């Protein structure tokens, strides 16, 4: 086969792969579907492993709310959770579910961090 044709075919295949790769949205850009309301209690689920996911959540203000932290084989510092506005400073289990009662939040943003502040998440109450 002609070398020029081979190079063109490789170029087209590479362009296709790059196009497909770019059209897959990054996980953080997907709308977060981590907030549910069960029996009048709002539950916000955040997973902790190498950071917090989703990084940004939107929830309703004025509802009794639980922040549900999920870990699974987590061994990094996202286990060490701080929510300064709520005086939360705790260690999550390496694997498990930890419910944190947020009471009935008013409108505003609640930030959570790992103890060193390198990982962060935010919940916006509207």
Other Cβ atoms within 10 Å of 63 Cβ, number: 14
Buried b or exposed e, range 70-105, using 16+ CB within 10 angstroms? bbeebeebbbbbbbeeeeeeeebeeeeeeebebeeb
Among 7, 10, 15, 118, binds Cu ion (CB under 5 A): 118
Nearest CB to Cu ion, comparing residues 14 and 118: 118
The residue whose two tokens read 């987590």 is 74
Q: Least distance to Cu ion from the beta carbon of 83, Å?
A: 14
Size of the site for Cu ion (CB under 5 A): 4
CB-nearer residue toward Cu ion: 4 or 116: 116
Q: Is 114 in the site for Cu ion (CB under 5 A)?
A: yes
Among the listed residues 77, 82, 98, 122, the single contact to Cu ion using CB under 5 A: 77
């Amino acid at each position: 086969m002609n070398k020029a044709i081979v190079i063109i075919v490789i170029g087209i295949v590479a362009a296709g792969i790059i196009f497909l790769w770019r059209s897959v949205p990054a996980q953080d850009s997907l709308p977060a579907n981590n907030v549910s309301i069960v029996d009048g209690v709002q539950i916000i689920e955040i997973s902790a492993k190498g950071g917090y996911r989703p990084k940004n959540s939107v929830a309703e203000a004025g509802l009794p709310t639980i922040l549900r932290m999920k870990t699974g084989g987590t061994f990094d510092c996202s286990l060490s959770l701080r929510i300064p506005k709520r005086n939360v400073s705790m260690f999550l289990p390496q694997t498990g579910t930890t419910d944190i009662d947020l009471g009935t939040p008013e409108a505003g943003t609640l930030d959570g961090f790992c103890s060193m502040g390198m990982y962060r998440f935010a919940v916006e109450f509207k």
